[in-house]
Structure formats: C-alpha cells, structure tokens
Amino acid sequence: MNALPMEQPVALEDTRAVEAFLLREARLLDNECWDEWLQSLSETIHYWMPGIENRRREDKSGPYRLEHMAFFDDGMRDLQRRVARFKQPSAWAENPPTRNVHLISNIEVFAGEQEGEFIAFSCFMNIRSRGLDESHQLVGRREDVLRREADGLKLLKRKILIPNAMLLCKNINTFL
C-alpha cells in the first residue's frame, strides 16, 4: 500500500465519509467500545505494524518488509482474541484500565484499486496513561484501505508506520 502513481481524487462526500469513519473509530477505541470497533472491520482485515529497521539510504531494501518482524500482523481472528483478552477479569495489565486518547490528522483520501474502495493516508498520536504518573505516546502514519460493504464502510487493510526503531514503552496493548 504505497502511494499510487496516479492518486485519483474522490468526491467530497466520499472524503467526508472516510474522515468520519476514522474519527468515529478513534472515539470507539478511546471509549473501549471494542465490539463496535470490530464491527467496523472487514472480515478479511489485515492489520499490520511492521518493525522498523535503521538502514542507510543506499540500502534499497527499505526500513521494513512483510517477511520481517512486526508488532502486529493480525487478521480478524487475532483482533477478536485481543479484544476478548482485554475483557477478561484476569487481564491484570488492564486493571485499572489504560486511558487512551487517539488523535487523527492529515487525512487524505483517494480512490482505491477496486470500485467502492478508498485509500486513506493519515497521521496519528496515541496518548496512553496508566496509574498516577505513567504516560506514553505513540505517533506515526497510517495507510488504510476502506471498502464499501453491504452495511457501510469497513476497514480492509491498515499499515501502521512508526518512526521509532525501538519502542520506549513497556507494551502496546492498544489499537492504533
């Protein structure tokens, strides 16, 4: 999912629908409405956050590859398991719960490869707070593919790119 050679603009109402989808998604995640969030995903979702490798500019293999390490490389079943784990009373790492704020910006929407698909580029900041004084921020870019399905827009693919080659927080028990 890299930038298309010919970025095809979409109608303003389609751009607004995709923006509204992404902003609603952030609110659902902040409010721990995980079941509603899962319903906004396509059954064939690919949710991917590759690990970033520091490479010299001359190294044309790039900072990440599909076959290398990933923080997330999930389909629907994996995401459902993560949500189920969050809900368990034994999820001690989330009791008391982490407080999240997702900020989404720089949204650009283009026509996808298939009819009814959209490519959305955005930036995010996820601020997580636990206990009295533990706070972490994750920032990065997302490349999403959304598709119109029978019951509305669904997230089909998400690639999450963070600038960090090493995470400075204890965990990433959140959705980005």
Question: What pTM, to 2 d.p., does this model score?
Answer: 0.89
Q: Pick one of 3.20.20.150, 3.10.450.50, 3.40.50.970, 3.40.50.1970 as the CATH number of 12-161.
A: 3.10.450.50
Q: What would the two tokens of residue 5 be? A: 């050679």
Per-residue pLDDT tens over the stretch 39-61: 999 999 999 999 877 677 777 66
Domain boundaries, the chain: 12-161
Query: What is the b/e burial string over 131-158, where b = at least 16 CB atoms within 10 angstroms of the residue's CB?
Result: eeeeebebebebbbbbbbeeeebbbbbb
Per-residue pLDDT tens over the stretch 123-145: 999 999 887 787 889 999 999 99
Distance of CA 118 to the CA centre of its chain: 15
Average pLDDT over residues 23-48: 97
Question: Could you tell me the sign of the dihedral formed by the alpha carbons of 65, 137, 135, 102, in that order?
Answer: negative
